């Protein structure tokens, strides 16, 4: 089936890309402070919305104009409709959504401190951690047709490994957002084109504490030894470190008044993927993705905070 992305810019040539990953429903509460164990805190706001790192990244890319397909798994329940309704509203292709007939759609409990905007998250992946071999076998053609496939670590890792293998065999470039951290084998990493950890995940994966430019370079070298070609380490409000084609620098982020940084990494990854698919180099892509992420942190929520392409372009013109 042919889809037209209503957010695409007419003059942008973009290759096809796939996001393979989680969908969960985010149940978010804002609170005067994050509770300590055994403490109950009266919150000030509750919001339910679409979430999961995979889904957030795909929506970010779609609204930024990418020719992107989401692959995930949901239950047959009302929480699945939260995603399906968003996909209908945004005009996203739904033909690679799998359903688990007995397990429930996943959820994430998110607490956001209204002062510091720091968060605490518990995720129960549910159906999206039950992706079978039959499911992954059925997307081989989609992976083959894609220039990039972007994955995270929220679904069952055996499924991620099969998709990475398939991409490797078909010459599709794999971008692995190593969030939330869980171990990834060296064999699997050797098939990854680019990793996009945050600084904590970079330390967990390489053993190098990323607290300076030199340390970031050291962590990138460890990834390269494992066969990864390009390394992108997001550093929160300090920007992003890029190691690509012999050039290693930090690209600063845009200064904004952040109200909720949950999903900033997802916004960045979705924006980065979009820009790479348009043929931009890593430095231009980092600027585009930083703008997209900066807008997203000025808004509440994860998927609902992703800006449109028109908003990102206007922001870049102003800054």
Q: Which residues are designated catalytic?
A: 266
Among 254, 272, 288, 315, binds ligand ATP (CB under 6 A): 254
Among 55, 98, 268, 288, binds ligand ATP (CB under 6 A): 268
Among 41, 104, 121, 259, binds ligand RIB (CB under 6 A): 121
Does position 56 bind ligand RIB by CB under 6 A? yes
Residues 288, 292, 298, 304, Cα dihedral to 10°: 180
Site string (149-188) toward ligand RIB, x via CB under 6 A: -----x----------------------------------
Does position 59 bind ligand ATP by CB under 6 A? no
CB of 292 to ligand ATP, least distance (A): 9
Stretch that binds ligand RIB, among 9-17, 208-216, 248-256, 260-268 (CB under 6 A): 260-268
User: Which residues, numbered 181-240, are part of the site for ligand ATP (CB under 6 A)?
Assistant: 198, 234-237, 239-240
**Residue number with CB closer to ligand ATP (166 or 184):** 184
Among 64, 70, 92, 108, binds ligand RIB (CB under 6 A): 108
Binding site for ligand RIB (CB under 6 A): 24, 26, 51-53, 56, 108, 121, 123, 154, 262-263, 265-266, 302
């Amino acid at each position: 089936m042919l889809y037209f992305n209503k957010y695409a810019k007419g003059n942008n040539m973009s290759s096809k890309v796939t996001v393979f990953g989680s969908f969960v429903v985010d149940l978010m509460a804002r609170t005067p402070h994050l509770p300590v164990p055994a403490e109950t805190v009266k919150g000030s706001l509750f919001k339910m919305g679409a979430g999961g790192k995979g889904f957030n990244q795909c929506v970010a890319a779609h609204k930024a104009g990418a020719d992107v397909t989401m692959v995930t798994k949901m239950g047959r329940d009302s929480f699945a409709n939260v995603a399906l309704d968003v996909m209908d509203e945004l005009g996203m292709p739904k033909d690679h959504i799998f359903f688990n007939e007995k397990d429930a759609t996943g959820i994430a409990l998110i607490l956001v401190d209204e002062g510091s905007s720091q968060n605490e998250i518990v995720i129960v992946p549910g159906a999206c951690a039950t992706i079978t071999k039959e499911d992954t076998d059925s997307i081989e053609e989609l992976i083959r047709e894609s220039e990039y496939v972007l994955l995270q670590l929220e679904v069952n890792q055996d499924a991620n490994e099969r998709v990475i293998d398939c991409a490797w065999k078909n010459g599709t470039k794999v971008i692995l957002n190593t969030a939330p951290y869980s171990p990834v084998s060296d064999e699997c990493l050797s098939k990854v084109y680019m990793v996009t950890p945050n600084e904590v995940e970079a330390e967990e994966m390489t053993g190098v504490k990323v607290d300076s430019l030199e340390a970031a370079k050291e962590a990138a070298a460890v990834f390269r030894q494992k066969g990864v070609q390009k390394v992108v380490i997001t550093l929160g409000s300090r920007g992003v470190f890029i190691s690509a084609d012999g050039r290693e620098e930090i690209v600063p982020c845009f200064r904004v008044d952040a109200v909720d940084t949950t999903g900033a990494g997802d916004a960045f990854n979705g924006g980065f993927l979009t820009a790479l698919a348009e043929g931009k180099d890593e430095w231009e892509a980092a600027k585009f993705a930083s703008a997209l992420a900066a807008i997203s942190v000025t808004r509440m929520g994860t998927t609902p905070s992703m800006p449109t392409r028109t908003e990102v372009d206007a922001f870049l013109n102003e800054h």
